[in-house]
Structure 1
Amino acid sequence: MKREIKFRAWDNLENRWYEPTFEGYRGKIEEIMLSPRGRLTMRTMTELIDESMFPNRFELMQYTGLKDKNGREIYEGDIVKNEYGKVMDIQYDPRSAAFGVGDYYFGTIGSGKIIEVIGNIFENPKLLEEKQ
């Protein structure tokens, strides 16, 4: 089974997402590039800047390979609601090398369960106050 590997990056300075294509906007940043080894490089109109020059500016979130009930891609850091109204945030567990919510991994919640992305931990952190 092939899983699509994609990322998105949250810019802590500009408070905006760079989508999986890592397109930039005219002006300061033209694009954000991710190397095969996971290093970020920011390209501006005049230079290439390695991530060591902007520590903690970007947060990388990986695509889980799943979509919610509306067809929206689910990324690490997303906040989802299940069919019973329970609010959960998507996290990566390095011990099991799997994405999950709470005590459930996507092997169990991703098959036959109805979940909906309602926000993310950067733009909507107050949604986590609703966790049951």
Structure 2
Amino acid sequence: MREIKFRGISTDEKVWIYGNLLISQNPRHNFETLIIPQEKCNSYMAIIPSTVGQYTGLKDRQGVEIYEGDVLDYDNGIGIKGIVKWYKDGFAIRILGAGDASNKSLYQSTEDIEVIGNIHENPELLKEGEANASN
């Protein structure tokens, strides 16, 4: 069974927080998306909702955990980049520059995959991937 956890960028310190996801329905809060950090079970951090990503349960060839929203170097550095997304019934790699039809299952093999950034902190990787894929 894979470990279920999430990450998101905190609204105050703008750093990644890892832990359990909680959606607050409390009207006195001015935020709705929270993460309870793994090391602090009795506290929570407000998270920017658009930055929330779930852990896939997999690690790349360097042992780095792979999360939804990560940008991957796919196929050992030959210029193919992809984004980790939830697609239909599992996590997939959407190959940049190849359109929506180009989703590959993330569960096939991670030995040739390396996390090189994410869509929130490294948006320039998305443009580079589109340019490389069109060559």
Given the two structures, how large is their TM-score scaled by the length of structure 1? 0.66
CA drift at 1:106: 1.5
Q: Does 1:117 align with 2:115?
A: yes
Aligned position for 2:31: 54
Distance 1:40 1:77, change over 3 A: farther
1:86 match: 80
Structure 1 segments unaligned to the other structure (5+ residues): 21-32, 42-48
How many angstroms does 1:97 deviate by?
A: 2.1
Structure 2 equivalent of residue 24 of structure 1: none
How far does the alpha carbon of each residue in 1:25-81 deviate from its partner, in whole angstroms, 9 at most, with x for none? xxxxxxxx634xxx159xxxxxxx779622573332100111011000000011110
Which secondary structure does the structure 2 equivalent of 1:130 belong to? helix
Long gaps (5+) in structure 2: 34-47, 95-102
Write the deviation string for residues 66-103 of structure 1: whole angstroms up to 9, x where unpaired. Answer: 1011000000011110113311111112xx22111121
The one-letter code sitting in structure 1 at the alignment partner of 2:17 is Y
Residue equivalent to 2:107: 107
Percentage of matched positions with identical amino acids: 38
Structure-2 separation of matches of 1:113 and 1:3 = 18
**C-alpha contact 2:72 2:82 (8 A) present in aligned 1:** yes
Q: Matches of 2:30 and 2:65 in 1, distance apart? A: 31
Runs of 4+ more than 6 Å apart: none
Q: Distance in 2 between matches of 1:100 and 1:51?
A: 37
The residue aligned with 2:90 is 98
Instruction: Specify the alignment match of 2:5 in structure 1.
Output: 6
TM-score by length of 2: 0.65
Q: Residues 24 and 31 of structure 2 are in contact (CA less than 8 Å); yes or no, is this contact kept in structure 1? A: no
